Each structure stands twice: as C-alpha cells, then as structure tokens.
Amino acid sequence: MHKAIGIGIAAALLAGFANATEPVTDADVVATMKASFRERGIAKMDRLEQSDLQKQCSTWSGKQLPPDVKASLEKAAMESIVYPADNDYLGDWKEGEKIAQSGRGFQFNDTEKTVAGGNCYACHELSKAEIAFGTIGPSLYNYGKLRGGPTESVLRYTWGRLWNSHAFAACNHMPRFGAAGILTEQQLKHVMALLLDPESPVNK
C-alpha cells in the first residue's frame, strides 16, 4: 500500500504532459514523480519503487487484464501467502476493532515504532454501530455469520485475502496487509477474529 503509486497522481502527471510534442514514456512519468517528492521523516524515496505486481497492474490500468497475465499474477500472489505456523488464526476481536479503526502508520509524521492500523472502515462496512465507512470494498457486515463460521476453508480463504488479496483478484485495490508488511501476524489474527468471532460486532 505505502509503496503504491496512486492512479490519481499518475493521471494528474500525465495531464501535465498533454501539450508535449514528444510521446510521454513511463520513464518520463517516473522521473517527474521522483522530482516532485522529497524524503520526510520515515517517508523515503523507495516508496516510489513498484513491485513487479504493481508494475504489471500499472501497465494494464484501465484495460482488461489478459488471462495469462491475470493467472500469473494471482499464482505469484497465492505463493506469497504465509499461513500461521501454529495453525491458530483467531486473536482478540476487540483488538481487531482497534486495528480496523486506525489509519496510523507509514506517514511522514509517524516513527518506526508507530503501530500501523488497517484503516478497514475507509473501504468497508463492518459494524452497524459505525455510521461512517467507505464503499470501495464490499460490506463485511455479518462476514462470519454468512459463511457459516470459522471453518478451515473460511479461515484459510480469509487469511489469504488479508495477506495478499491479489491471489484472488489480480490488481484489485485492497492493500496487501501481510505481503507488504503493513500488519504483523498477530495483528492479522486480531482482524481475523473481528471478521469471524460470533461475539464480534461484525456478526451481531
């Protein structure tokens, strides 16, 4: 997430090249972006470097992914998923709610010790008690209840989605919470509990 180049920013930069007489290349865009940013606090220039997945998704932005590219990206993302070694997927849903509410982490005014949050409500509805939530992603209200509880298949699927959602839908907008090192394994367990524990407000 924190290394991704925003589509809106890229579009704005391309608009700036609209009157150029020579064709605009990807290198032109990258050079302009690098010239437009400066390091501040923990926000370093390496955030402008894209992973192979991000490069592919940028290349095909606004277009339909070819089946072979889609399959290749999803396969690589699936192989990146690291499941809990202790086979214990569920933490404390109350801690998971705190993570879902928090948008802290990786900002220039944070420090290396700042505990990152998931900012889940920015894209999803999770609880009926929350009156402000985003709609970029689907509603997750009653997530566990609708799936029949934390069965082995549901646990592995949900963990995989949180770790690297591109394994299931290449070039989607969900952050790669595990693969990108945004949340720790223990934090992911707490978010898993928020989604699947029957006592969680998600399932009430």
pLDDT tens for each residue of 121-179: 999 999 999 989 999 999 999 999 999 999 999 999 999 999 999 999 999 999 999 99
Residues 6 or more apart from 193 whose CB is under 8 A from it?
Answer: 90, 91, 92, 93, 95, 96, 200
Cα gap 5→55, rounded to integer Å: 10
Residue 46: is it exposed, middle or buried by C-beta count within 10 angstroms (0-12/13-18/19+)? exposed
**Average pLDDT of the chain?**
90
pLDDT tens for each residue of 62-96: 999 999 999 999 999 999 999 999 999 999 999 99
Greatest CA separation found in the chain? 62
Q: Look up the CATH superfamily of 93-203.
A: Cytochrome c-like domain (1.10.760.10)
Cα gap 167→117, rounded to integer Å: 22
């705190």: which residue's tokens? 98
pTM, two decimals, is 0.84
The band of 1, judged by pLDDT with boundaries at 50, 70 and 90, is: very low
Return residue ranges of the chain for CATH 1.10.760.10: 93-203
